Structure 1
Amino acid sequence: MPHTLVVSLSIILAVVLVALIVLVVLVRFFKTRKAKQMQELELLVRRCQRIEQILNTVSDRYLPLTTKLVLVEYLISSLTLIKKHAVETELVKWMPQYLQLFEELKEGQQATLKDKVVSAQQLAQVQQALQALPLLIRGLVGLGVLDKATAKEQVVQIRFSYFLAHHDLLVREAQLDLDIDKKARALEKLRLALVEIEKVGTVTQSEVLIKRLNSIIHRVESELFGKKPRVS
């Protein structure tokens, strides 16, 4: 076999070998990237499901408008991406409702009722959802969806809502006790409600609640112990 032919065959084999190596590397690269992309999309779906659960669990009384707006906007953009990659999730079919809700929120409207917590079970669900929000918000900061200053403000408001929910239930139960003339039991719950809301006493919204609670407590004490209401 002529020397030039041997050299040519060697070069061809080398090129083929290099091409095969490159092909294998590319296949592995795209396979790894596809797997990573699917993991990210699955994580995105779970995050969307968590947001949807929070929106359905927490009424507007406990969910700050800015927080709700950010969550709905992120939900819409995420579901758009999920739909683009043909990932199956029932959340996609609710896109029209989320788009409508987003427009309402942009106009400063609260789209749901400001329902108060009315049972211990509901309180547990609401507080669990609120506990998950700060971590979710920090995640949105990391993604560049929310700036740190706004996130910090929202976390403060969410913490207030956490204690507000317990306050609402205690006040409701106290009123039910007063309706059946169980003043001592009502007074205990009112005092507990005051303790709860004083935990977030630095938040502006708490001032009115604290003043109102003190007034009710003083009135009940007067009726129960025959004392004149103290001036707060």
Structure 2
Amino acid sequence: MKSGVLILVAVTIFAMLCFFPAFFRWRAKQRELREKLLSRLSNRSDSLFHSLQIISDRYLTRDSKIFILEYLLSVIAQLNRANYQSEFVSKQADLVKILAELKLGQQTTVKDRVSSQEQLDEIQNALQFMLREIRNMSEGYGVSRAIIRHHIVLVRYAHSLAYRDLLVRQARQDFDNDKKNRALEKYRMALSVIEKNGSVGGSKREVVRLQSMIQEVEKALFSKNNKAELKLK
């Protein structure tokens, strides 16, 4: 009887000696995985906030800014619940202030346009990152897939609008340098880019403007060709 009890105790102790190290290793791995996931979420959110800051109001609507800021604040709340501290979490007060100013219409609107290839690359990279993050947003913080799709459409349009602005700037320079055919080609490219975003309300105004620019160049080309023909006669 005693030997049976001793065997049982020995087996139990042996099992515990095997179990606890494995349990603690598993727990450490889970903690490490959790830290990595929280760190990744924090870093991605910080990058999203940076993208938001560098994109001109011309390319990002007030509603989209509010949408993204509210998402970022929901991430901070999640990180706080997990007792995770980071540089991004420390920006909570700044995000709250910016969001409040946006909702009250107190933020200064800056509608700078892309004027160089370097600026276009920077803006489009920021918009591409923003697009990926919006696509990956879950409904866990209280928005539907329809709202997410709406902002995806707006960010895509912003991407096209930035390209349109650079093309128009280049076309104007070509026109001023008497390179009207090249200017016409770029205006038409800009029109094509914007027409692909017909579901966005603002695109209709841009289409009308671009069509007017194209007509202006076509008239100038027609006049130039007529003069050339008269000289030949």
TM range (shorter): 0.7 to 0.9
Query: Counterparts of 1:63 and 1:113 in 2: how far apart (Å)?
Result: 11
1:174/1:187 contact within 8 Å kept: yes
* Match in the other structure for 1:85: 83
2:198/2:204 contact within 8 Å kept: yes
Whichever residue aligns with residue 107 of structure 1, its letter is L
Change (3 A) 1:110 1:213: farther
Change (3 A) 1:175 1:64: same
Query: Counterparts of 2:100 and 2:154 in 1: how far apart (Å)?
Result: 23
Q: CA RMSD in A?
A: 2.8
How does the TM-score come out when normalised to structure 1?
Answer: 0.80
Query: Counterparts of 1:62 and 1:141 in 2: how far apart (Å)?
Result: 24
1:140/1:146 contact within 8 Å kept: no
How does the TM-score come out when normalised to structure 2?
Answer: 0.80
* Match in the other structure for 1:230: none
Change (3 A) 1:63 1:222: same
Q: Does 1:30 align with 2:39?
A: no
Query: Counterparts of 1:30 and 1:66 in 2: how far apart (Å)?
Result: 43
* Match in the other structure for 2:122: 125
* Match in the other structure for 2:7: 10
Query: Counterparts of 1:112 and 1:92 in 2: how far apart (Å)?
Result: 26
Shift of the alpha carbon at 1:102?
Answer: 1.6
Query: Counterparts of 1:94 and 1:181 in 2: how far apart (Å)?
Result: 51
* Match in the other structure for 2:227: none
Change (3 A) 1:151 1:33: same
Whichever residue aligns with residue 75 of structure 1, its letter is L
1:200/1:206 contact within 8 Å kept: yes
1:35-62 deviation line (CA, Å, top 9, x unaligned): 2211211221231133023113322221
Identity of aligned residues (%): 35
Match runs of 1:93-112 below 5 Å: 93-107=90-104, 112=109
* Structure 1 unpaired stretches of 5+: 228-232
Q: 134, 140, 146: which is aligned to 2:143?
A: 146
Query: Counterparts of 2:163 and 2:173 in 1: how far apart (Å)?
Result: 16
Aligned residue for 1:226, secondary structure, equals helix
